[in-house]
Amino acid sequence: MKSTRTRLDRFMSRHLGIKRQKIRLLLAQGRILVDGCVARDAQQTVHQFSHIIFDEQVLQDHKPCYVMMNKPKGVVSATKDQRHKTVIDLLKRKDRYKLHIAGRLDFNSTGLILLSNDGRWSRELSIPENKIYKCYRIEVENPLDESYIRAFSQGIYFNYEGITTRPAVLNIISSHVCEVSLTEGRYHQIKRMFGHFQNAVLELHRQSVGNLILDQNLLPGQSRELSKSEINNICNIEGNVN
């Protein structure tokens, strides 16, 4: 996703169709407001959610949107698909096509999926170094034992990419059911990690991302917007959303 941040003079030049040098005069005259304050610095950074006014004319007034969905089986984690229904198709929102998916789930996987129009927020959730754990409940074909716990905690080598997965936490719930928490999201990663043991994944359900737990009141296919508290606390970061 492209960065939506730019300098104020570049933004104004693009929207007004005038050279950047002339923006300095407009700033000196106090004719530009950013987020309710008179702007003076041509190099001030603005982004897609900055509220920008020029001579009482609103040039930009985008609102950030953050949605959780309980993804059902048989739905594609994509914005468009010629053959299958997508998670975007399930949304009952006029702005649904402006949203992107923050962390996909496979076609037959279920559970918590996040959608937003805030690319910066989505990137923060996906960076392994931020150590935001995604927790999954998994049912497998063959019985589990302690060797799985050790292997997941040490990381499993993927020959195709030539990499070893980051340490993951595996808790055995019953002979064929476990919970896995990990901080990265490589292609079919969980299925491939169990594939190391030649053990097929039968069910995969995402329960949480960071501190955000799937709302149990949401039926498969249903969604709702996140609260300010949920947005701010998902990564243990306070004060991100006003």
C-alpha pair distances (Å), 21 with each of 17, 26, 29, 162, 224:
12, 10, 14, 51, 45
Most confident of 5-9, 43-47, 169-173: 169-173
**Residue 110 CB coordination number (10 Å):** 21
Tell me how far CA of residue 145 lies from CA of 150, 171, 179, 202, in angstroms.
10, 10, 13, 17
Q: Cα(119)–Cα(93) distance, rounded to whole angstroms?
A: 19
Q: Is the pLDDT of residue 37 over 80?
A: yes
Q: What average pLDDT does the segment 88-108 reach?
A: 92
pLDDT of residue 225: 96
pLDDT digits (tens, 9 = 90+) for 163-210: 999 999 999 999 999 999 999 988 899 999 999 999 999 999 999 999
24 phi, psi to nearest 5 deg: -60, -35
**Mean pLDDT, range 26-45, rounded to an integer:** 93
Give the per-residue pLDDT at 166: 95
Mean pLDDT across 73-77:
95
Distance, in Å, from the CA atom of 24 to the CA atom of 42, rounded to the nearest integer, reads 6
Is 63-127+224-242 the same fold as 6-60?
no
Classify domain 133-209 at the CATH class level: alpha beta
Establish whether 106 is a catalytic residue: yes
Catalytic residue, chosen from 35, 106, 145, 215, is 106
Q: Is 226 helix (H, G, I), strand (E, B) or coil?
A: coil
Distance of CA 80 to the CA centre of its chain: 17
User: Rounded to 10 degrees, what is the CA torsion of 145, 146, 152, 153?
Assistant: 170
pLDDT of residue 152: 98
Binned at pLDDT 50, 70 and 90, residue 47 comes out as: confident
For 117-159, how does the pLDDT look when each residue is reduced to its tens digit (9 = 90+)? Answer: 998 899 889 888 999 999 999 999 999 999 999 999 999 999 9
- Predicted confidence at residue 160, as pLDDT, reads 86
**Domain layout of the chain by residue ranges:** 6-60, 63-127+224-242, 133-209
CB 117, CB 102: distance < 8 Å:
no
Mean pLDDT value of segment 75-99: 91
- Tell me the percentage of the chain whose pLDDT exceeds 90: 74
Given a contact cutoff of 8 angstroms between Cβ atoms, the answer to whether 213 and 234 are in contact is no
Reference 135, options 234, 26, 57, 25; nearest CA is 234
Looking at residue 28, its amino acid is A
Contact status, residue 189 vs residue 136, Cβ threshold 8 Å:
no
Q: In the predicted model, what is the mean pLDDT of the chain? A: 92
Residue 87 has pLDDT above 90, yes or no: yes
Distance (Å, rounded) from C-alpha 225 to C-alpha 177? 31
In Å, what is the CA distance from 122 to each residue of 5, 20, 100, 115, 151?
15, 31, 9, 8, 29
The reply to whether CATH 3.30.70.580 applies to domain 63-127+224-242 is yes
CATH 1.10.287.110 fits 6-60, yes or no: no
pLDDT of residue 242: 43
Q: Quick one: pLDDT at residue 2?
A: 52
- In the chain, pLDDT over 70 holds for what percent of residues? 96
